[in-house]
Amino acid sequence: MKTITFNSGFRLDDPNNHWGDPSYHLETGDPGYVPPSPTNQPPQRRNHMKRNSYFPSRTNDQVNWLVNWINKLPGYGATVGLSPAQITATTGDAGWLVYVLQSWLGATRTWAEACTNAVTEAQSGTGMAPMTLPVFTAPALPAGVAPVNPGALTRIFAVVQAIKPACTDVIASNLGIVGSEKSAPDWNTFAPVLKITRAPAGVTVGWDWQGKAEFIDQIEIQVNRGNAWQLLTYDTTPGYVDTEAIPAAPTKWEYRAIYRLEDQRIGQWSAAASVIVGG
């Protein structure tokens, strides 16, 4: 059992916290201790992988990645422990995806544009002959490409995971299965951005990771209810709700926050954000 002291960071919604005089926190083995559950799971330490995903987000870049996989993987098959059948299967998956993303998807977009033009013509066009509506014809499959079962990209990712331990840095780079390095924030200027809104349950303190979750564990939020800054919470899930009772008279509440890493503040304090409550 631990005694809860002022600004010690214990959350109001933790079932093992008991508030009174004195306030205390139950630990494993204490009578009445509530073990973690899916809805009461303590924050897990975030994985500090500081690389971008190796698979691109843009369709054209995805096609290039898949073509590179088709062209280069067979040359490394024995080195990374793949059988000829496995190489044929995974490059077949990649070939099918190249066809779908490049040829088939492009054709559907051209057909969709033709359909839109046909609707316009049907509504306000001119002419004395009946219209002929566009019909979609899928492009022919390239030689050596055949349809495969759904989940082709998932299977390729599974192959990547299987061969990574056997890949040298050169092989991994040539196959495109190592992401680019992510840059850390400039901690001299990096700070949370808060958005404060009223909600039925209280005041919502909106925040996010700003794309830098790999470098941050949690956020520390403080509140000033007219009696100086005080700790409100340490939060690991964006969108904290302050459930403090709303006063009857109009009152300004201010909030500020700073990111934390390994139990230390990191970066800069956010600008103070305020809301009028009560009244």
Look at residue 255 and give its three-state secondary structure.
Answer: strand
* CATH architecture of the region 186-279: Sandwich (2.60)
Spatial contact of 197 and 206, defined as CB atoms under 8 Å apart: yes
Contacts 24+ apart (CB under 8 A), 10-14: 11/233, 11/234, 12/243, 14/40
**What pLDDT is attached to residue 29?**
64
Residue 125 contacts by C-beta under 8 Å, 6 or more apart in sequence? 131
**What pLDDT is attached to residue 32?**
73
Q: Which amino acid is at 10?
A: F
Q: Is the dihedral of CA 97, 52, 191, 278 positive or negative?
A: positive
**What pLDDT is attached to residue 38?**
40
Q: What is the pLDDT of residues 116-173, one digit of tens each?
A: 999 999 999 999 999 999 999 999 999 999 999 999 999 999 999 999 999 999 999 9
Q: Which amino acid is at 260?
A: R
What is the Cα–Cα distance from 149 to 93, expressed in whole angstroms? 9
Spatial contact of 65 and 55, defined as CB atoms under 8 Å apart: yes
Q: Give the residue ranges of the chain where pLDDT is below 70.
A: 1-14, 19-25, 27-30, 33, 35-52, 180-181
Place of tokens 């809301």: 275
